């Protein structure tokens, strides 16, 4: 999902976005360094370095590219000065629109980013395919419509977790395709460092294991398996050069820290644009700690912000009606900080989060046994808090 550029049309003629459903969202209870009460309005006047803050890193490392797009025809015209000039001559548009273009053009001139809309899609996401994301207007992104995620985001806008998830602004339709309109979480950051941690002891639904009854051969998953560990496939799998999806999914969890720590690092992007997604075999506590140390680069203030935010999220999860009544699978925690000391963590990706039958609840810590639907989300969050707490206590040693 990163890096990429979103251009928002901020001319005086821009139409206001639909009202956000649900109650007003209050500020975080623990504002971190560099935060500003005007950050939300300022974020609407920036080029974001995130194409889709609610899309995690790609585990399969697949990448697609498409032109920057906008929700308005005028926004698209702003990316083509020649076309705009032609239309101005034909329609004699007011000078205010020319000023709007000048403002955007100047932003592009100083922008260090390439003018493209690159996106990376995690293989675990149901919506993880080319064309899932587009740039939106007013500091927002468009994510291809997913009924499950729409339902979750709508409920979360009225839950105590609201301040820890992307703002949801309803559906929009573009080029005949329906999209969920969401907040661009990276818009307020300058050259952000970003880490995506996939939460839980498994990243597949129990229903996906039913494919064992009628398994479909997957040569693509066999190829991914041998790229990581050529010795993993059985003699029969090597002969046929295929594995089943359930077999691949369960194996995938065992080679990372998912099964042991309850989360895994999907990828990291540093402020200089360097992207590292080579965490497929990052499994031990020591390996995860080293990855976080490299991510924060010794910045103790950022580390404190992350720890405080994680503890807030955990406390809020413990009281959330939504969380108690849902199996949270394939969701991530998105860590973001920049050189100003501003740092935040958000919960993202709810395309595989499903409601429990009425009256049922999960502990989110109990060991998963097929049939009990436990996801291990809090088990993983406990591990994260413990690791970062230890890093903070021993920060003088690294």
pLDDT digits (tens, 9 = 90+) for 313-332: 999 999 999 999 999 999 99
| CA–CA separation, 378 and 10 (whole Å) | 41
388 token code pair: 């970062």
What the chain holds in terms of domains, given with CATH numbers, is 133-201+262-396 (3.30.470.160), 207-257 (no CATH)
State the DSSP string of 231-260. Answer: T-S-HHHHHHT-EEHHHHHHHHHHHSSHHH
How distant is the alpha carbon of residue 42 from its chain centre? 21
Which residues have C-beta within 8 Å of that of residue 313, sequence separation ≥ 6?
A: 161, 164, 333, 345, 347, 381
pLDDT at 139 over 60: yes
The reported pLDDT for the residue numbered 125 is 29
* Consecutive H or E run containing 336: strand 332-337
| CA–CA separation, 282 and 185 (whole Å) | 26
pLDDT by residue (tens digit) across 240-257?
999 998 899 899 999 999
* Structure letter (DSSP) for residue 29: S
318 token code pair: 């413990």
Report phi then psi at 159, rounded to 5: -110, 165
Grouping H, G, I as helix, E, B as strand and the rest as coil, residue 298 is coil
pLDDT by residue (tens digit) across 340-375?
999 999 999 999 999 999 999 999 999 999 999 999
pLDDT at 231 over 90: yes
How distant is the alpha carbon of residue 135 from its chain centre? 15
Please report, for residues 81, 136, 349, the alpha-carbon distance to residue 329 in angstroms, rounded to integers and kept in the order given: 45, 27, 9
**Region 109-134: what's the mean pLDDT?**
38
């Amino acid at each position: 999902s990163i890096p990429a550029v979103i251009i928002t049309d901020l001319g005086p003629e821009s139409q206001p976005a639909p009202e956000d459903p649900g109650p007003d969202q209050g500020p975080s209870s623990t504002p971190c360094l560099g935060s500003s009460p005007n950050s939300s309005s300022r974020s609407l006047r920036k080029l974001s370095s995130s194409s889709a803050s609610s899309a995690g890193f790609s585990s399969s490392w697949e990448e697609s590219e498409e032109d920057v797009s906008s929700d308005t025809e005028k926004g698209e015209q702003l990316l083509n000065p020649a076309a705009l000039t032609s239309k101005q001559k034909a329609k004699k548009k007011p000078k205010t629109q020319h000023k709007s273009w000048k403002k955007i053009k100047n932003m592009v001139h100083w922008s260090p980013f390439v003018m493209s809309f690159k996106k990376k899609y995690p293989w675990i996401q149901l919506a993880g395919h080319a064309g899932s994301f587009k740039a939106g207007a007013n500091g927002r992104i468009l994510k291809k419509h997913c009924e499950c995620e729409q339902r979750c985001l709508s409920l979360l806008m009225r839950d105590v977790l609201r301040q820890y998830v992307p703002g949801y602004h309803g559906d929009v339709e573009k080029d005949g395709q329906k999209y969920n309109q969401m907040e661009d979480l990276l818009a307020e950051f300058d050259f952000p460092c970003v880490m995506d941690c996939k939460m839980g002891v498994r990243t597949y639904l129990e229903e996906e294991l039913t494919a064992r009854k009628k398994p479909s051969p997957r040569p693509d998953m066999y190829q991914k398996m041998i790229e990581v560990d050529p010795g993993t496939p059985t003699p029969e799998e090597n002969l046929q050069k295929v594995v089943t999806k359930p077999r691949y999914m369960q194996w995938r969890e065992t080679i990372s820290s998912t099964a042991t720590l309850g989360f895994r690092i999907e990828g990291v992007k540093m402020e200089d644009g360097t992207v590292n997604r080579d965490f497929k075999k990052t499994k031990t506590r020591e390996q995860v700690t080293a990855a976080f140390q490299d991510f924060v680069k010794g910045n103790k203030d950022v580390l404190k912000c992350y720890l405080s935010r994680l503890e807030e999220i955990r406390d809020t999860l413990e009281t959330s009606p939504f969380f108690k009544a849902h199996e949270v699978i394939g969701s991530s925690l998105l860590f973001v900080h920049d050189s100003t000391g501003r740092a935040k963590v958000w919960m993202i990706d709810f395309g595989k989060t499903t409601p429990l039958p009425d009256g049922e609840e999960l502990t989110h810590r109990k060991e998963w046994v097929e049939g009990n639907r436990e996801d291990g989300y809090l088990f993983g969050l406990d591990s994260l808090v413990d690791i970062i707490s230890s890093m903070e206590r021993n920060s003088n040693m690294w």
